[in-house]
Structure 1
Amino acid sequence: MRAIQITEFGGPEVLVPTELPDPEPGPGQVLIDVTRAGVNYADTHQAENSYLAPSSLPMVPGAEVAGRTPDGRRVVALTSGGGYAERTAADPAMCFDIPDDVSDEAALALIVQGATAWVLLRRTARMDPGESVVVHAAAGGVGTLAVQLAKAFGAGRVIAVASSEAKRKYALDLGADAAVDSAAPDMTAALIEANEGRRVDIVLDMVGGRVTDESVRALAPFGRLAFYGMASREAPKPVQLPNLMRFSTTVGGMWLPHAWLLPGEVVDQAMGELLAMVSDGRLRPVLGECYPLSEAHRAHEALRARGTIGKLTLDPSA
């Protein structure tokens, strides 16, 4: 089968097209003929071995696929790797039937990025109706969904942060109430200004570094920052615990694989609600470019350059 294999760690250049034997499903696993593979920012960290979970070589990357099972079911699935290929194996508990009125690409936007946005709002930050929500990287795969979900869940004000005027306009079109330049010299002041002079209740942050530090300082009493990535590849300063008490604020982390450990409790709830919202038009996944499988490196280049909007996918047939 055609696949992308990594034999040395590094940047996008290590994603090499190759021919490999079909995977052998393990006990209880199901083989999936992949029609589309999803690309996530975490894949770029995995390729250079800077992810939370260490990688081992050789490796076929990719944790999400849409395709057909041997019995003809059309599913979207989470995998433990091997998604950048024509075929992959998955745990049936991590396979979700795709409704007829939902495309493969839309389903792929939900399985990791949609679930991430859902867990951040429902579980990590536990958003209450009327609260203000800041979404960093608001034009990305998670961000475009988080903006819409925050509005659908009753946020009082959604503030989108993005790196270009076009991305900020896109977030506003998705329902954000205000938009902030990610290069703002003082993110604390910019977020408070965008919230009409008030400190913010919730921040969803996958940037890290200065942005995280200054976002924490923008939190209102009992405000929460949910940290789920470090796209800047810059570590924020250590949180000073007395400051959390002093300002009654909370900083929490979220890594989606922990939700996968409890699929019936978290992932099933998330996917059930997300797929229903797409089916009835309350949620619109933003679909980015679909790259030929052989050009997976281009998808990683675009992600690392922060030049993308919406969900990126790979076509194994091209």
Structure 2
Amino acid sequence: MRIVRHHEYGPPGVLRTEEAELPAVGPRDVLVRSAAIGVDHADVQRRNGTFPLGGTPLPYCPSTDVAGTVVRVGAEVGDITPGTRVVAWKAPNAYADHVAAPAERVLPLPPGLDFAEATLLGGPGRVAVNLLRTARFAAGETVLVHAGAGAVGHLAVQAARALGAGRVIATAGSTAKLDFVRELGVDEAVDYSLPDWPERVAAATGGGGVDVALNGIGGKRLLDDVRLLAPYGRLVSFGGSGGDAEHPDIPVLDLLGMRQVMGFSMPVVLRHRPEQAEQAVRDLVRMVSDGSVRPVVHARIPLAEAARAHELLEQRRSLGRVVLVP
């Protein structure tokens, strides 16, 4: 089978398509014939050596979301059978024709969802809904989502609306992305490249502030978000896709309005709040099935052209998710 790896850190061209044996299938594993593979900013950061949590062992093949058809199951897997259409989230060695994933990370697909769209039920969808749960979001509240046109962001704005948000505000960095989030139904789209974007967000709330802010970009914008929170507002930080992994110092005085700042990690949620994680999956599948959340695929790129997919993410032009197609 084919697999895409990089043996050094560097630009997209370090990605190589190689031949490899089919992955071994353990007793609790599921072997999936890949039909679509999600591409994430974390893949780009790991490839160029800037991932906030440190470098990855080389050679490296990204661990991401794969949708396809089950071809084999381990001896201890009883609830998934060959021929089932599934998505495997955060599957190891995912840029490949076949992927072996732990059965607990494999989800059967709802009818009518194509494989490329299904990759968004993996990491991005789980993160989007769990961010709202972590923020203790309640119906009627105002939600601010940064990078609202991204893989996580475009699902978070739709999920917030589907779960009863009173007002949804999204930031984006281009005219095309602002138009895109408006099409998704946000109440206000704000260009975060403008120096007065915080004032524009504040104006969109009528000066009352936001109840929930979801920030996966990092950097100085986190401090701006704190100051945009309403009393008892909650900011959830879940990454540094903006390239700045350093979080600013947050003065204690900025928190005295009963504002709260939280970090987010999906593995931690799975370890300590598994019931929340499972409920989020059920909520996500329901919202996708009833049409209240629409996964959007920006581009479907051949597996052998993985470098082109990375270039597209680095150019920050994608709306929704970029996928690789074997």
- Normalising TM by the smaller chain, what interval? over 0.9
SS across alignment from 1:179: strand
Residue 62 of structure 1 contacts residue 81 of structure 1 at CA under 8 Å; is this kept in 2? yes
Q: Distance in 1 between matches of 2:102 and 2:276?
A: 16
Q: Which amino acid aligns with 1:87?
A: H
SS across alignment from 1:278: helix
> Per-residue displacement from partner, 1:67-103 (whole Å, max 9, x unpaired)?
1112211110124421100011111111110122211
Q: Distance in 2 between matches of 1:27 and 1:46?
A: 30
Q: What does residue range 217-236 of structure 1 map to in structure 2 within 5 Å?
A: 217-234=227-244, 235-236=246-247
**Which one of the candidate residues 256, 262, 286 is aligned to 1:252?**
262
TM-score normalised to the size of structure 1? 0.93
- Sequence identity percentage: 39
Q: Which amino acid aligns with 1:21?
A: E
Alpha-carbon shift at residue 249 of structure 1 (Å): 0.7
Residue 37 of structure 2 contacts residue 95 of structure 2 at CA under 8 Å; is this kept in 1? yes
Q: Distance in 2 between matches of 1:26 and 1:13?
A: 33
Tell me how many residue pairs correspond in the alignment.
Answer: 314
Q: Structure 1 runs of 4+ off > 3 angstroms?
A: 259-264
> Per-residue displacement from partner, 1:133-184 (whole Å, max 9, x unpaired)?
1111011111111111111111111111001122112111111001111112
CA RMSD of the aligned region, Å?
1.7
Q: Which amino acid aligns with 1:237?
A: P
Q: Which residue of 1 aligns with 2:318?
A: 308
* Residue 31 (structure 2) pairs with residue 31 (structure 1): yes
Residue 138 of structure 1 contacts residue 147 of structure 1 at CA under 8 Å; is this kept in 2? yes
Alpha-carbon shift at residue 244 of structure 1 (Å): 5.3
* Residue 216 (structure 2) pairs with residue 215 (structure 1): no
SS across alignment from 2:308: helix
**Which one of the candidate residues 141, 152, 171 is aligned to 1:161?**
171
Q: What does residue range 94-173 of structure 1 map to in structure 2 within 5 Å?
A: 94-122=105-133, 124-173=134-183
SS across alignment from 1:247: coil
Q: Distance in 2 between matches of 1:63 and 1:53?
A: 17
Q: Distance in 2 between matches of 1:15 and 1:26?
A: 28
TM-score normalised to the size of structure 2? 0.91
Alpha-carbon shift at residue 53 of structure 1 (Å): 6.1
**Which one of the candidate residues 161, 185, 190 is aligned to 1:175?**
185
SS across alignment from 1:44: helix
Q: Where does structure 2 lack aligned partners over 5 or more consecutive residues? A: 72-81
Q: Where does structure 1 lack aligned partners over 5 or more consecutive residues? A: none
Alpha-carbon shift at residue 236 of structure 1 (Å): 2.8
Distance 1:170 1:197, change over 3 A: same
SS across alignment from 1:83: coil
Alpha-carbon shift at residue 232 of structure 1 (Å): 1.6
